[in-house]
Structure 1
Amino acid sequence: MKTILFITNRPPFPNTDGRRNILLQYIKQIKEIHPESQIINLTFKDKHEVVNKIPKEIHKVHMLEKPGFVEKILNILKNSVIRRKWPIQTSVFYSKKTHRTVESYIQSYKPDIVIYDMVRVAEYTVDANHVNVLNYDDLLSVRYQRQLKWLQYIPSMFGGFEKNIPPFLRKILNSRLLKYAIIQNESVLLKKYEIQVSSRFNHLLFTSPLEAQRFKEQTGHNSCIGIPMIFEKTETQKPRVFDENKMVFVGRMDIPHNVSAMLFFCKEMWLDLKKSLPALKLYIIGKSPSNEIRLLAERYPDIIITGEVADVRQEISDSALMIAPLVYGTGIKTKIIEAMAEGIPVATNSIGSEGINITHKVNIVSTDDNEEIKAEIIKLIQDKEYNASIARNAKQFIEDEFNQQRMNDRMKKILV
Structure 2
Amino acid sequence: MVWPEPASTAAGVRMMQLLDVFKKQGYAITIASAASKSEFSFDFSSLGFHTADIKMNDSSFDVFVKELNPNVVLFDRFLTEEQFGWRFAENCPDALRILDTEDLHSLRHVREQCFKKNVPFTTEAWLADDKTKREIASIYRCDLCLIISSYELQLLTDVVKIDESLLLLLPFMVDEIREESNWKTFEERTDFIFIGGGKHAPNIDAVKCLKTIIWPLIKKELPDAKLHIYGAYLPQQLLEMNSPATRFLVHGRTESVDEVMRTAKVCLAPLRFGAGIKGKLIAAMQNGTPSVTTTIGAEGMHGILDWNGAIKNDPAEFAAAAIQLYTTKQNWQTAQEQGKTLVNTLYAKTNLEQVFLENIIELQQSIATHRTQNFTGALLQHQTMTATKFMSKWIEEKNRG
TM-score of the aligned structures, taking structure 2 as reference length: 0.79
1:30 aligns to what?
A: 22
Task: State the Cα deviation string for residues 232-260 of structure 1 (Å, max 9, x = none).
Answer: 23442235235654100011123211011
2:94 aligns to what?
A: 129
Indicate conservation of the 8 Å contact 2:268/2:292, yes or no: yes
Residues 374 and 361 of structure 1: CA distance in aligned 2, closer, same or farther (over 3 Å): farther
Task: Please show how residues 15-26 of structure 1 align to structure 2 within 5 Å.
Answer: 15-26=7-18
Selected match of 1:211 from 139, 146, 152: 152
Q: Segments of 4+ in structure 1 off by > 6 A?
A: 184-187
Task: Please show how residues 4-403 of structure 1 align to structure 2 within 5 Å.
Answer: 9-32=1-24, 34=25, 36-46=26-36, 49=39, 53-54=43-44, 56-65=46-55, 95-97=56-58, 100-123=59-82, 124-125=84-85, 126=87, 127=90, 128-151=93-116, 188-217=129-158, 218-221=160-163, 222-235=165-178, 236-238=180-182, 240-241=184-185, 245-298=190-243, 301-357=246-302, 363-403=308-348
- In structure 2, distance between residues paired with 1:300 and 1:383: 26
When structure 1 is superposed on structure 2, of 360-369 and 125-134 the one drifting more is 360-369
Task: State the Cα deviation string for residues 354-375 of structure 1 (Å, max 9, x = none).
Answer: 0012578763311212222211
Residues 15 and 271 of structure 1: CA distance in aligned 2, closer, same or farther (over 3 Å): closer
Indicate conservation of the 8 Å contact 1:323/1:346, yes or no: yes
User: Which amino acid counterpart does residue 328 of structure 2 have in structure 1?
Assistant: D
CA RMSD across the alignment: 2.6
Task: State the Cα deviation string for residues 174-212 of structure 1 (Å, max 9, x = none).
Answer: xxxxxxxxxx99981211111223222111112223313
- In structure 2, distance between residues paired with 1:225 and 1:343: 28
SS in 2 for 1:241: coil
SS in 2 for 1:297: coil
Residues 302 and 60 of structure 1: CA distance in aligned 2, closer, same or farther (over 3 Å): same
User: Which amino acid counterpart does residue 144 of structure 2 have in structure 1?
Assistant: H
- In structure 2, distance between residues paired with 1:22 and 1:48: 18
- In structure 1, distance between residues paired with 2:183 and 2:2: 38
SS in 1 for 2:2: coil
User: Which amino acid counterpart does residue 11 of structure 2 have in structure 1?
Assistant: R
Query: Aligned residues: percent identity?
Result: 20
Count residues with an aligned counterpart.
345
Residues 359 and 283 of structure 1: CA distance in aligned 2, closer, same or farther (over 3 Å): farther
User: Which amino acid counterpart does residue 313 of structure 1 have in structure 2?
Assistant: D
User: Which amino acid counterpart does residue 121 of structure 1 have in structure 2?
Assistant: T
Task: State the Cα deviation string for residues 257-282 of structure 1 (Å, max 9, x = none).
Answer: 10111111221211111111111211
Bigger relative contact order, structure 1 or 2 (CA pairs below 8 A, ≥6 apart): 2
1:406 aligns to what?
A: 351
Residues 320 and 307 of structure 1: CA distance in aligned 2, closer, same or farther (over 3 Å): same
1:79 aligns to what?
A: none
- In structure 2, distance between residues paired with 1:114 and 1:139: 19
User: Which amino acid counterpart does residue 338 of structure 1 have in structure 2?
Assistant: A
Indicate conservation of the 8 Å contact 2:190/2:225, yes or no: yes
- In structure 2, distance between residues paired with 1:15 and 1:269: 28
Task: State the Cα deviation string for residues 42-73 of structure 1 (Å, max 9, x = none).
Answer: 113336557563255453100124xxxxxxxx
- In structure 2, distance between residues paired with 1:58 and 1:378: 47
When structure 1 is superposed on structure 2, of 103-112 and 185-194 the one drifting more is 185-194
- In structure 2, distance between residues paired with 1:312 and 1:44: 28
Unaligned runs of 5+ in 1: 1-8, 66-94, 154-183
Indicate conservation of the 8 Å contact 2:7/2:255, yes or no: no
Determine which structure has the larger helix proportion and give its number.
Answer: 2
SS in 2 for 1:238: coil
Indicate conservation of the 8 Å contact 1:144/1:187, yes or no: no
The Cα of 1:283 is off from its aligned counterpart by: 0.3
User: Which amino acid counterpart does residue 118 of structure 1 have in structure 2?
Assistant: R
Task: State the Cα deviation string for residues 310-359 of structure 1 (Å, max 9, x = none).
Answer: 21211121111101100111011111112112110010010000001257
Unaligned runs of 5+ in 2: 119-124, 362-401
- In structure 1, distance between residues paired with 2:285 and 2:348: 13
The Cα of 1:415 is off from its aligned counterpart by: 2.1
- In structure 2, distance between residues paired with 1:49 and 1:248: 26
